[in-house]
Amino acid sequence: MDTPPGTFRFSDVMTWVSRATGAIVNIDDCGGYTYRVPELQLTRQDRYHHGPFCSHAKRSGLQPQCQANKHRSLARAQRDGTAFWGTCPFGLWDLAFPVLRDAQPIAVFYLGGFRGAQAPETPEHPYRGPDLPRITTSKRRELLRYGGFLADHFLLIVNEWHRRGGDLGKHKHNDFYFDNAKAFIASHYDQPIAITDLADLLKVSAQHLGKAIKAASGHSFRHLLQHYRLERAEILLATGQFTVTQVAFDVGFSDSNYFSTVFRRHFGHSPRHMTPASDPSKSLKNKGH
């Protein structure tokens, strides 16, 4: 949905930077600000590496390696607090630009999706997607400039929010936690997440968060996560474009056999039963969720 004329969100700024530079732009929120500050609300696409090569790698079963590389990158950003660039284990180039507040990283921007000296590739599953732009010295300088722009803009909003009395530590209404749980799941369902990850971002205990979510929705965080994953899986399977294993990895299951078991238990038939002619809207509605 387009933003009304005369207004824009931080998510729009990230999109504009992507258009201006040709980079895939996303952010890792270390401080939980994008789940609380209204001006910093993001879309799922803003929160993960969503380029064609990254999607290919994850559907090829390489999500664990991608996650391990992301964790190493975040650890370096938090340790050094300075911008750096490099290639992932499969050859994709990215710039990491941390946002510092009181000398502590509160977020890390990633601007990348470029090929380095050699074209990125994944073992056993050749990449046949669109050609990736090649990184150059001038492009690195441009991305560093835009990375600084995003970091400064983000920090200005955070500082103003704190000046107005914003406090992540205050307990909110149950619906606040439920809404954030839905947003967190929609952004990270393809990753190995748990309620403790969201609790850390919101600065509350996992026990308090779990009770609030259950009070607002009638379901546990784990139930909401599995439901969302299965909903996404049904839609992907109905396209007929991906194998069961690819879909399992794509929606966050690390074991395709376990995925098939859960899918059958939920829908009453195996994922292989799905066809492009299936209606992905019926099964979940008929489950009474």
**Letter for the amino acid at 289?**
H
The answer on pLDDT for 126 being more than 90 is no
What is the reported pLDDT for 98?
96
**Letter for the amino acid at 231?**
E
**Pair 155, 161: CB distance under 8 Å:** no
The answer on pLDDT for 286 being more than 70 is no
Output the six-digit token pair for 52: 């064609």
Q: What is the CATH code for 174-286?
A: 1.10.10.60
DSSP assignment string, 55-77: HHHIIIIIHHHHHHHHHHHHHHH
Phi, psi of 35 (to 5 degrees): -100, -5
Cα dihedral across residues 138, 142, 144, 145: positive or negative:
positive
The answer on pLDDT for 280 being more than 60 is no
The answer on pLDDT for 7 being more than 80 is no
DSSP assignment string, 234-262: HHHHHHT-S-HHHHHHHTT-S-HHHHHHH
Encode pLDDT of 42-55 as tens digits. 988 898 888 888 88
Encode pLDDT of 62-103 as tens digits. 777 887 888 899 899 989 999 999 998 888 999 999 999 999
Q: What is the mean pLDDT of the chain?
A: 86
What is the reported pLDDT for 238?
86
Length of the chain: 289
**Pair 115, 133: CB distance under 8 Å:** yes
94: which strand partners?
A: 86, 112
Place of tokens 């600084």: 148
Q: What is the CATH code for 10-163?
A: 3.30.450
**Pair 204, 195: CB distance under 8 Å:** no
Dihedral (C-alpha) 117, 120, 123, 127: value to the nearest 10 degrees? -140
Encode pLDDT of 140-176 as tens digits. 999 999 999 999 999 999 999 998 887 655 667 899 8
Enumerate the domain spans of the chain.
Answer: 10-163, 174-286
